[in-house]
Amino acid sequence: MPKAPLLSPESVFPDDPEVRNAYQRVYSLQTQQPLRMAILGWMLIHSPSHEGLTEVAQDINAATNDEVILKLGNYLQSFFSNHFKFLAKKRTTTPSTHRSRPELGAVRQEILNGLVSAPTSHNKAKEQALIRDNYRYMLAGTVDSRSVEKIPELQAEYLSNPLLSSGATQCCHILPQYITQELRTDESKETPLDVVLVLQQFGGVIPNELKDNGMHHLRNIMTLENGIRTSFDELRIWLEPVEGQEHRYKLGRELFAYRNLPDVHNFVNACVDLSLPDR
């Protein structure tokens, strides 16, 4: 059963009759399939984009009868179920091999000179993301401990400021890598294609963006501390974009998770040529 009932149709989408009609149809089927209709209803309410909202509403309104809407809910339930099963089973990422001090400096200089293209691997994505984020992992601002050990300037800054703390950083893909890995290894599987379809319809992610090395683009990369990354995977914390303010996000929490983190976060890049996450 869903944790919270859907909102009354009278309280949502007052200025969009098409979406409101779709929501009303979903709302009326709650007693038959509570979980599946909750997924559809909350997808309408919390759509990340107008395009995604329109796509979901059109799919619902195009249904010729209630059975089609129930099947759509079942389809989306399977999608989310497969995704979270993957998160529950995945192994902890093996710490990546870090470059020596001179090589890190060379990478930074190449980026500043505009000579480095989009990253093509997990390790290269982490290198560029750390430079973009000034060697601090996002949300908490803690300094990456391995970078402190290898970069003299960062080490001096760290030692001179008792307020700074350090910790292990993970390079995290917002859209997980398994999506394109499964597409490449077995194109006959339906689940990855379902994932791509949902991402395109609901999130506005173009399929071509997921091909080849698109998953390693910095728009899809965050640097996070291990515990924070786990909480993201478990949906104990999440980010909500602030409307009309680019790269500004509100931190959502389940109960008392990470109460020490700020409520609002501004993503800022230390190198303007490196893209900020925006998935």
What pTM did the predictor assign? 0.67
* Statement to judge: residues 84 and 133 lie in one domain: no
* Statement to judge: residues 46 and 125 lie in one domain: no
Tell me if 224 sits within 8 A of 172, measured CB to CB: yes
Tell me if 66 sits within 8 A of 29, measured CB to CB: yes
In a domain, 106, yes or no: yes
Average pLDDT, the chain: 80
* Statement to judge: residues 80 and 126 lie in one domain: no
- Domain limit, last residue, from 34, 68, 89: 89
Which residues form the domain of 20? 9-89
In a domain, 52, yes or no: yes
In a domain, 273, yes or no: no
Greater pLDDT, 117 or 167? 167
pLDDT in tens, 4-60: 788 999 999 999 999 999 999 999 999 999 999 998 999 899 887 788 888 889 989
In a domain, 272, yes or no: no
Assign 116 a pLDDT band (cuts: 50, 70, 90): low
Is the per-residue pLDDT at 113 higher than 80?
no
pLDDT in tens, 161-191: 999 999 988 888 887 776 666 555 455 444 4
* Statement to judge: residues 33 and 127 lie in one domain: no
In a domain, 201, yes or no: no
- Domain limit, last residue, from 89, 124, 146: 89
In a domain, 197, yes or no: no
Is the per-residue pLDDT at 102 higher than 60?
no
How confident is the model over 81-96, as a mean pLDDT?
60
Which SS3 state, helix, strand or coil, does residue 242 take?
Answer: coil
**CB hemisphere CA count around 43 (13 angstroms):** 28
Is the per-residue pLDDT at 160 higher than 60?
yes
* Statement to judge: residues 132 and 82 lie in one domain: no
Total domain count, the chain: 2
Output the six-digit token pair for 139. Answer: 């949300």
Assign 279 a pLDDT band (cuts: 50, 70, 90): low
* Statement to judge: residues 13 and 129 lie in one domain: no
* Statement to judge: residues 167 and 240 lie in one domain: yes
* Statement to judge: residues 166 and 249 lie in one domain: yes
In a domain, 113, yes or no: yes
- Domain limit, last residue, from 64, 89, 114: 89
* pLDDT value of residue 106: 56
DSSP 240: E
| CB neighbourhood size of 220 (10 A) | 22
In a domain, 94, yes or no: no
